[in-house]
A and B are shown apart, each in its own frame.
Chain A
Amino acid sequence: AQSVTQPDIHITVSEGASLELRCNYSYGATPYLFWYVQSPGQGLQLLLKYFSGDTLVQGIKGFEAEFKRSQSSFNLRKPSVHWSDAAEYFCAAGTGGGNKLTFGTGTQLKVEL
């Protein structure tokens, strides 16, 4: 069965520190991969996506993610976290970008000032 796993339910970092959110997937083939951010009571905003090509993808708000086929991972990173980055982050996968997505359970990010 297709699945997306985000091992960390909660992560707390200090403002200015680096961040890495983990995401692992289990799919029959290399899926399309996405990271979304959700602020409380809001919908989802796309941070970045990977379909093929360069395995390091750049997104909005200074985020990047690296696709590692050997580890079935697509971890999200940011070199220096801002207080406004506090939110819920979801990793998602699909067989095509416009097709139905399977979401991970999310990682709640807290930023300490």
Chain B
Amino acid sequence: GAVVSQHPSWVICKSGTSVKIECRSLDFQATTMFWYRQFPKQSLMLMATSNEGSKATYEQGVEKDKFLINHASLTLSTLTVTSAHPEDSSFYICSARAGPGTDTQYFGPGTRLTVL
């Protein structure tokens, strides 16, 4: 149990276009999802916390107008990178937890974004 999927697993896009990444909890309802970004050979950096039905909370330095997060249902959160540029190329990973007080996050397999 506790499987989190991401789609797509990789995407290549042109500079200036927008890309949507989906994060789904397959066998549990996720009241909270987290979006992380990982640069090559670096650690994961939290971008934002997404709560179902409310606005996402962004970490300092993350542009909320550039990285749009929607958590419209208990099993789906989306991250849209708007007007992507080459510096947005990265590995994006989501995680999900079942509810307040639950003690574990489950991570998705990640999405590799390459902006040309």
Contact = CB atoms under 8 A, between A and B. Distances in A.
The bracket for how many chain B residues form the interface is 20 to 34
B49 A100 contact: yes
Interface in B94-116: 95, 97-110, 112
B43 A105 contact: yes
A106 interface: yes
A98 B107 contact: no
B67 interface: no
Contacts of A96: 101, 103
Contacts of B46: 100-102
Interface of A: 32, 36, 41-46, 49, 51, 90, 96-98, 100-106, 108
Interface of B: 4, 6, 32, 34, 41-46, 49, 91, 93, 95, 97-110, 112
